[in-house]
Amino acid sequence: MTENLHIVDSHCHLDFDLFDGEHDAVVRRATNAGVRRMVTICTKLRELPTVRVISESHAPVFFAAGTHPMHAAAEPMVSLEDLLELTKHPKMIGLGETGLDYHYTADTKEPQKQSLAVHIEAARQSGLPLIIHARDADDDMADILGREHANGAFTCVMHCFSSSAELAKAALNLGFYLSMSGIATFKKSQDLRDIFAAAPVDRILVETDSPFLAPQPKRGKRNEPAYTAMTVEIGADIYGLSMGDFATQTTANFDRLFTKAAKWQAD
């Protein structure tokens, strides 16, 4: 079955210590599970060299770069010029993850907003999509994204979406995408599954956010890109599709949003 699947893990963290020394095996297991491409995300720009090498060393791996909102106050403030320079790398396909996190770092709201604004402008100027992390910040997130989009369009995915129906609607109304992670497979996540069910299937991506948030039945273990197939199985059930059709649809959605990766694939 998996040899016929074409899945993209749109968000993982292969540079994290839990994958040290295992990159070849992790990528191999992913491709064996039908995960044809994966995007490894840099959350601190000083760690970009490691992320870049992983991508350059593995054909199916692309990367995105930015400053995670939880690091916005502790890391040097990212500059527009630096981000735009990074986008010149042929396998850098997105900006972020950026966003707002008021769950753990509500005391750094202003640096988070400042950093987010820089990433948004880089997305506008480069044409690369923004990768948004939002936790316990729905009102501010919806307000900022709506206001900034009105000032100049950009594309965006709400990564690992697990926020409110209201934020989902606000993002979808702006033409953005929602990414489904292993959280959607959890027994207590019916409300989240209902939010996805109400969203157009042509605006859905899938991801692991590995090494975190392993889907059922791997919950509590280290997550890895191969497990995206388990989220695809749940997504297919939500939309009443076969696994193959849902995988094909979410891959087409990924290519529509991450056009640089789609062009690389075509080339």
CA distance 120 to 137: 17
Asked if pLDDT for residue 140 goes beyond 70, the answer is: yes
Catalogue all structural domains in the chain, each as residue range(s) with its CATH number: 2-266 (3.20.20.140)
Average pLDDT over residues 93-105: 97
Asked whether the bond before 69 is cis by omega within 30 degrees of 0, the reply is no
Q: Which helix (H) or strand (E) holds 197?
A: helix 190-197
CA 218 to CA 185: how far, in whole Å? 10
pLDDT tens digit string along 154-211?
Answer: 999 999 999 999 999 999 999 999 999 999 999 999 999 999 999 999 999 999 999 9
CB 112 within 8 A of CB 134: no
Question: What pLDDT digit, counting tens, does each position of 4-16 carry?
Answer: 899 999 999 999 9
> For residues 77 and 49, is the Cβ–Cβ distance under 8 A?
no
Considering the entire predicted model, what is its pTM? 0.96
Q: Which residues of 20-47 are buried (b: 16+ CB within 10 A; e: fewer)?
A: eeebeebbeebbebbbbbbbbbbbbbee
Grouping H, G, I as helix, E, B as strand and the rest as coil, residue 69 is: helix
What is the C-alpha separation between 30 and 161, in angstroms, rounded?
22
Predicted pLDDT of residue 2 = 57
Q: How far apart are CA 211 and CA 129, in angstroms?
A: 23
Distance from C-alpha of 139 to C-alpha of 143, rounded to nearest angstrom: 6
